[in-house]
Amino acid sequence: MKRLEGKIAIITGASAGIGKASALLFASEGASLGLIDINLDGGKEVCEEIRKNGGKAEFFGIDVSNPEAMKGAFEAVADTYGGIDVLYNNAGGATPRDDYILKMPLDEFDHAIGLNLFGPLLGCRLAIPYMNQRGGGSIINTASIRSMIGTPGADAYTAAKGGVVTLTRALALQCAAQGIRVNAIAPGAVLTERVKKLMEQDNDSGPTQDMIEKHLLGLGHPQQVATVALFFASEDSNWITGQVLPVDGGASVH
């Protein structure tokens, strides 16, 4: 039997990188999917690929920090497939003007919090009632190794991801009695298209080279994080909640 057979999962940030890899993997393991991303073209392509391979998927081109749009998407997934069992809050990322707090525009902090913390909070708020109806579920949040070790020049992102860690633990305490597990993945640097572009701009020197050297096992690939998300989504992790797992090639050892 497939590991997510009969399960209904929502994945945010599903158009590329870790989210895309997770969507394809979850679908191959039998999940019916609701895919959310602000990138319309990329999200539609992932959805179509899943359907061509015989899977079930619906795509919603929305901003994860928009309460009404998110509510509509969650309702549509539940109406189409019969509920929600798994939520993977994967959408997020560094924002363009993030910096040391004395240099960063204040509206950039709002942007980073909206994308990286309010979005996951909103997703959890919407998913938990559906999971209660089905007798339990699994929530997976995307944190970052930056939430654990701190990184200069990314104060808004670091603060937001730190909030994801503590939100994960708080919800684990409050949802366990309903059979809902809440865990987080803290990825290191993963070779998504965005990271590859940053590396090209840096010409293998400076901050990027330092980042590479800190990852003892090299930089990661989206599929390596997706397999961990699958573990948390499946019954293989049915005795684990409230945990934050670094998936970082050893970078957080430093």
- Strand extents, DSSP E, the chain: 8-12, 32-36, 56-60, 86-89, 137-142, 180-187, 244-247
**Which amino acid, one-letter code, is at 9?**
A
**Which amino acid, one-letter code, is at 141?**
N
Separation of alpha carbons 19 and 46, rounded Å: 10
Q: Is there a catalytic annotation at residue 157? A: yes
Sequential DSSP letters for 150-175: --TT-HHHHHHHHHHHHHHHHHHHHH
Per annotation, catalytic residue among 81, 88, 130, 157: 157
Query: Treating both helix axes as pointing N-terminal to C-terminal, what angle do 155-175 and 119-133 enclose, rounded to 10 degrees?
Result: 20
The catalytic site residues sit at 157
